[in-house]
Amino acid sequence: MGYTLQLDGDTFAATENNGLGRELGKIVCVGRNYAAHAAELNNPIPTEPILFMKPATAAAEIGSYFSIPSGRGSCHIETEIAVLIGSELCRASESQALDAVAGIGIGLDLTLRDLQATLKDKGLPWEKAKAFDGSCPLTGFMSPAADEDYAKLGLVLKRNNVIQQDGNSGQMLTPIISLLSYISEHFTLMPGDVVLTGTPAGVGPLDPGDHLELELKLAQSTLRVSTEVVAKAL
Ligand code: ZN
């Protein structure tokens, strides 16, 4: 795929240009990390993080547009704070996890919701619904401030000029840094891996032609991205 994360000033851009970038690794995701989202899908609130993964082939750049699969039923958007890992984490403490954050951006956990419901009913894994090619569109990544407060990051999705998701990391059941440490007890995180930290309430289906505005607020900088949804066969 040649998808890399390229250092551009102090921002890691999600780009297919191989230039100076480092290769993107796996994407580790957490399910139901916001209570209000668990409730909207009638799921119980988990007692510990629910983890799943998307392969590097799931990554796609959020440019002027990104693609959703056509003919696969409803494709939901879950807008999530994405963390780019900069150093290896294996059974890491929270302070090691804090030091390993190389960038903060926005990732979309695209989910074929009809297919996921069928898989869940049968007790089968979710990968076909969540790990398909292009299932993780990513923005570029901003460098966090040295004293970044990871409990105060704001995340907004506007769809066709209407606010659909409006959350902040203070609402997470497992906060970002604790989550990185927890993940590293199960899977070693490597430089270039990305962690999606769960979605606030307000998930819903995307349609081709939708115009999306994504916003991520850090202490000292704000990332704003406008993009459009197109449908494409997988
Ligand atoms: Zn998600």
* Sequence spans of domains, the chain: 4-232
Q: Please, which residues bridge with residue 229 across strands?
A: 66
pLDDT tens for the chain, 234 residues: list them: 345 555 455 555 554 443 335 678 999 999 999 988 888 888 888 899 999 999 999 999 898 999 999 999 999 999 999 999 999 999 999 999 999 999 999 999 999 999 999 999 999 999 999 999 999 999 988 888 989 999 999 999 999 999 999 999 999 999 999 999 999 999 999 999 999 999 999 999 999 999 999 999 998 889 999 999 999 998
Token pair, residue 227, equals 């993009």
Q: Which residues of 30-69 are buried (b: 16+ CB within 10 A; e: fewer)?
A: bbbbbeebbeeeeeeeeeebeebbbbbbbbbbbeebbbbb
How confident is the model at residue 19, as a pLDDT? 36
How much distance in Å is there from the Cα of 222 to the middle of ligand 1? 22
CB 59 within 8 A of CB 66: no
How confident is the model at residue 1, as a pLDDT? 38
Distance CA 82, CA 209 (A): 25
**4-232: CATH homologous superfamily?**
Fumarylacetoacetase-like, C-terminal domain (3.90.850.10)
How much distance in Å is there from the Cα of 221 to the middle of ligand 1? 24
In this prediction the pTM is 0.92
How much distance in Å is there from the Cα of 193 to the middle of ligand 1? 16
Distance CA 234, CA 71 (A): 9
CB 82 within 8 A of CB 107: yes
